[in-house]
Structure 1
Amino acid sequence: MNRHKLHPSQLRKFWKALGPGLISGASDDDPSAITTFSQAGARFGLSTLWVAILSFPVLATIQEMCARIGMVTKKGIAGVVKAHYPKWVLYVLIGLSCPAFLLNMGADISVLGETGNLLFPHIAPLYWSIAFTLLLLLLMIVLSFQRLARVMKFVCLSLVVYVVAPFFYHQDLSSILKHSFIPSFHFNKTYILLITGLTGAIISPYLFFWQTSSEAEEDRVADINKPVKRKFFRAMRIDIITGAFFAVLIMYFVILTTGTVLHNNDIYEINTVAEAAVALKPLAGNVAYILFSIGVISTAFLIIPVLSGSVSYILSEAFNWKSGFNKSFGEAKEFYIIIIVAMCLGIIMQLLRINAIKALLFTTVIYGIIAPFLIGIIMHICNNKKIMGQHINKITSNLIGMVTLLLMLGVLIVLGYFLFIL
């Protein structure tokens, strides 16, 4: 019996092996995603749970493709596109991605400020936003990539608060199972917008860039002249599957919690951080704000380095600047300056008093629109033998990728019908 029991050393070894995949998965559940999941649960109850179930193989497959590109080419997506595709493809890539990432980051910084204000109402949200931004900048500049990744891995653990919450409220197991495995549809604009937002929130384009570039920075692929060993590909896939499962798990339980707590109590719209915190009241009553704040601050501490890093990776590779968190500020000045400027733009959003919750929801819808284009590029790269050599896509990856692409395009066509024809 004890032969199959996990030894603590095995668990430590497993934890140590986790890296970019886990961080990508956890950062996928950023404030914009949590807000979108909460909005879906509040508006439509449990009827979008099936999206979380279907998202797991899709997210794992796309992230595995991105990781494989980084490991094989030792470049990020922008670097690969610049080297092997027409210039206009790179420009479209930058034009679609960077503005959306900056909007997302600015909204996340605003939410950080609002969350700090929830905990300490006497301090204005703007001051919290500035304080958190300076702290994150310091961590990103001072810590090496490996140390930054280590810190981010431990931050991931705080997200389990969302998994625990539903168990403190009465649940109808038959209804949960039905909505989890039997898709239900509401043929109206609001539902299609939320489905677009949900797909954009869980299959987030910034993860494509982060996953590829962070894998290229890992020690195991540091030597550009040596092929990556097979064992590293196996470790990468375990990391990816773990991260994807973690991301979808949080998505599932946030929809479950808000679909039970908010929807059943006639709360159908979420416009502030405080309203979203109500979903955790069954777990801790008035302490719900504290628990919600811990979750939001944790996800923001994950996503802001990922978003700012993704923008910087894209622009640095486009203009041949040295890049990477494994380099010091002196070695990659442009890379860190882009991060600083990007995060300052987030503070400006706070000064402009842009509604953070609405901006976050808008961002996920934008992601749902641009994700098919990026998935198409990633699949084309992964099927190009000149780029990937023997590590091109297998049939399963192509099948899942193609079905995802067609489904997302189908949702966009239906959304366009509601927006421009009806």
Structure 2
Amino acid sequence: MARQADSDRPPTPPPLWRRFSAGLITGAADDDPSGIATYSQVGAAFGYGMLWCILLTIPLMIAIQGISAGIGRVTGHGLMDGIRRHYPKPLVYGLVASIVVANVINLGADIGAMGAALQLLIGGPALVYASFFAVLSLLLQVFIPFSRYSPILKVLTLSLFAYVATVLVIHVPWRDVMRSIVHPPIAWNAKYAVGLVALLGTTISPYLFCWQASQEVEEIRASQRRIPLKKAPWQAPQALSRIGIDTTVGMLFSNLIAFFIILTAAVVLHAHGKTDIQSSAEAAETLRPLAGRLAFVLFAAGIIGTGLLAVPVLAGATAYAAADAIHKPAGLEYTPKQAKFFYGVLVAASLIGVALNLTPLDPVKALYWSAVINGVAAVPLMVVMMLMGSRRKVMGQFTMPWVLKVAGWAATLAMAAAAIVMFATWGQ
């Protein structure tokens, strides 16, 4: 009762910047170097032909990420921990396996892209830079508690404004852009279908669900006031309002940046006949002769900044999923001694990501197909999330309102339809 009394005191409104947390960080991390590569690829290959998809995903992302955040805030458990408590273990292990595989591939590509981007800017050995970035991210996660690390991640979200600046320094034919959004030039073939699934898999990705739910749990642990809403329903109005605003702002920010990246690739690369981009670093390098040095520098610097944000999110989401699946302590607020398995997965995922850059594995093809894996694997996970969010046994009195149900199921059906179309057009 003492905690309820404390929580009933009229809280001092926090500064605007402090009201944004899990949603903002998750949305910004979605535009990682791997995402930049995928967005650059579809922009170069299809011009303005997929800009409509980014607009379509805004309400879908807000809904599905809001649901994942709500599950974490209401139950006080990470997403995989919640699934483990209510669904068969084979389902949990299958979901975790797909997330781990896709995340580790993404980690390798992101780490390599950061090294390649710094090499473009200052010269020198890309692999050494990549290893440095990986180790730096790992050390920050291992030795800085989440309550002090989260503000660093929020500051890193500002790096995405590099892509807003990039659009401002190139000439954009806005009339053509608007026309393509209203009447998108959709190509009914396998290449377009795979590109669509890769884009959706990059934008609506399982690791984002895991991270945002887990960050809500971390913030409960780090706060003396916050309690899971099932145990402290009086905190719900403020908590759910914050989640709604935070998630909406984060996903709008994420999709705005994705829109600008695709637009940059369409205006500069596709328009000049450069339709096959193999990496985010190549996209940056190609901008130099076509759009000028300033656009090149902004684009390349953005890759490094977003990578510093996304790498810990990817590695952390992998560790959360794996530890939650077998009911091990999970959280960056724990010390390595308190959560050995969690930190072991965190370290292993990061090191494997670095090691992938030493193998003959084509990182670009692996990256593109990891986005496809994400797009396919997201469907069963989203179905389970929708079922969890609707069950009183899981959510108590805080089951999803009908608006979230409609938007969440729409997002799930969109991902399923994209995957079906891809398989139906395979080989054509």
Deviations 1:335-357 (A, max 9, x none): 11211111110111011143333
1:10-159 aligned at under 5 Å gives the runs 13-122=15-124, 124-159=125-160
Q: Secondary structure at the match of 2:48?
A: coil
Q: Distance in 2 between matches of 1:91 and 1:42?
A: 37
Query: What's the counterpart of residue 167 of structure 1?
Result: 168
Among 315, 324, 328, the residue aligned to 1:321: 328
Amino acid at match of 1:72: V
Name which of 254, 257, 260 aligns with 1:253: 260
* Unpaired segments ≥5 residues, structure 2: 1-11
Q: Distance in 2 between matches of 1:242 and 1:190?
A: 32
- The answer (yes or no) to whether the contact 2:37–2:279 under 8 Å persists in 1 is no
Give the AA of the match of 1:369: V
**What is the identity, as a one-letter code, of the residue corresponding to 1:223?**
I
Shift of residue 312, structure 1, vs aligned partner: 0.9
Aligned to 2:5: none
The answer to whether the 8 A contact 2:218-2:333 is kept is yes
C-alpha separation in 2, matches of 1:155 and 1:398: 32
Corresponding position of 1:5:
none
Structure 1: gaps (5+ residues): 1-9
Deviation track 1:310-352 (CA, whole Å, cap 9, x = no partner) reads 1111121122221111112222222112111111101110111
Aligned pair count reads 411
Match of 2:414 among 407, 417, 420: 407
Query: Is contact 1:108-1:360 (8 Å) kept?
Result: no
Distance 1:296 1:237 in 2: 28
> What whole-Å deviation, never above 9, does each CA across 1:180-236 have from its counterpart, x for those lacking one?
233431011111111111111111110000011111111457535434431111111
Aligned to 1:214: 215
- Counterpart CA distance in 1 for 2:226 and 2:330 is 14
CA contact (8 A) 1:25 1:244 kept: yes
Query: The residue matched to 1:323 in structure 2 has which SS?
Result: coil
Q: Distance in 2 between matches of 1:153 and 1:282?
A: 33
- Asked if 1:223 is matched to 2:224, the reply is no
Residues 252 and 329 from structure 1, CA distance in 2 versus in 1: closer, same or farther, beyond 3 angstroms?
A: same
2:392 corresponds to: 385
Quote how far apart the aligned CAs of 1:287 are.
4.3
Q: Deviations over 1:244-264 (max 9, x none)?
A: 000000011111111111111
**Closer, same or farther in 2 for the Cα pair 1:198/1:273, shift >3 Å?**
closer
| Deviates most, 312-321 or 174-183 | 174-183
For residue 383 of structure 1, report the CA deviation from its aligned partner: 0.6
**What are the within-5 Å matches in structure 2 for residues 175-324 of structure 1?**
175-219=176-220, 222-224=226-228, 225-227=231-233, 228-278=235-285, 280-281=287-288, 285-324=292-331
- Asked whether the equivalents of residues 21 and 236 of structure 1 are also in contact (C-alpha less than 8 Å), the reply is yes
Query: In 2, distance between residues paired with 1:370 and 1:150?
Result: 31
- Deviation of 1:35 (Å): 0.8
Please tell me whether the aligned partners of residues 27 and 302 of structure 1 are also in contact (alpha carbons under 8 angstroms): yes
Q: Could you tell me how far apart the structure 2 residues matched to 1:289 and 1:253 are?
A: 14
For residues 83 and 283 of structure 2, the distance between their equivalents in structure 1, rounded to whole angstroms, comes to: 40
Secondary structure of 2:186's counterpart equals coil
Q: Distance in 2 between matches of 1:317 and 1:18?
A: 25
Aligned 8 A contact 1:168 1:282 in 2: no
Structure 1 residues 216 and 373 mapped into 2: Cα distance closer, same or farther (>3 Å)? same
Is contact 1:262-1:278 (8 Å) kept?
A: no
Q: Secondary structure, in 3 states, of the residue corresponding to 2:49?
A: coil
Report how far residue 12 of structure 1 moved: 7.8
SS of the residue 1:314 aligns to: helix
Q: Secondary structure at the match of 2:332?
A: coil
- Residue 11 of structure 1: how far off its partner (Å): 11
> Residue 117 of structure 1: CA displacement?
2.0
Residue 280 of structure 1: how far off its partner (Å): 4.7
CA distance in 1, matches of 2:67, 2:348: 30
Q: Deviations over 1:117-170 (max 9, x none)?
A: 222323x22211211111111111121212211011111111111112223233
Amino acid at match of 1:370: A
Q: Deviations over 1:240-298 (max 9, x none)?
A: 00100000000111111111111111100112444210465499723444322221111
Contact 1:165/1:283, CA 8 A, preserved across alignment: no
Q: Which moved more, 1:326-335 or 1:60-69?
A: 326-335
Q: Secondary structure of the residue that 1:390 maps to in structure 2?
A: coil
Write the deviation string for residues 4-53 of structure 1: whole angstroms up to 9, x where unpaired. Answer: xxxxxx99811111101000000000111111111111111111111111
1:293 and 1:14 map into 2 onto residues whose CA distance is: 30
SS state at 2:15 partner:
helix
What SS is found at the alignment partner of 1:375?
helix
Tell me how far apart the structure 2 counterparts of residues 17 and 299 of structure 1 sit (CA, whole Å).
21
AA aligned to 1:266 is G
Q: Which moved more, 1:214-223 or 1:317-326?
A: 214-223
Aligned-pair identity in percent equals 34
Q: Quote the RMSD (CA, aligned, Å).
A: 2.0
| Greater CA drift, 83-92 or 225-234 | 225-234
- Give the alignment's TM-score, normalised by structure 1: 0.92
- Deviations 1:65-99, CA, capped at 9 Å, x for gaps: 00000001101111111111111211221122111
The 8 Å contact of residues 102 and 346 in structure 1, kept in 2 or not, is answered as yes
Structure 2 residue 423 is the aligned partner of structure 1 residue 416 = yes
Distance in 2 separating the partners of 1:91 and 1:75: 17
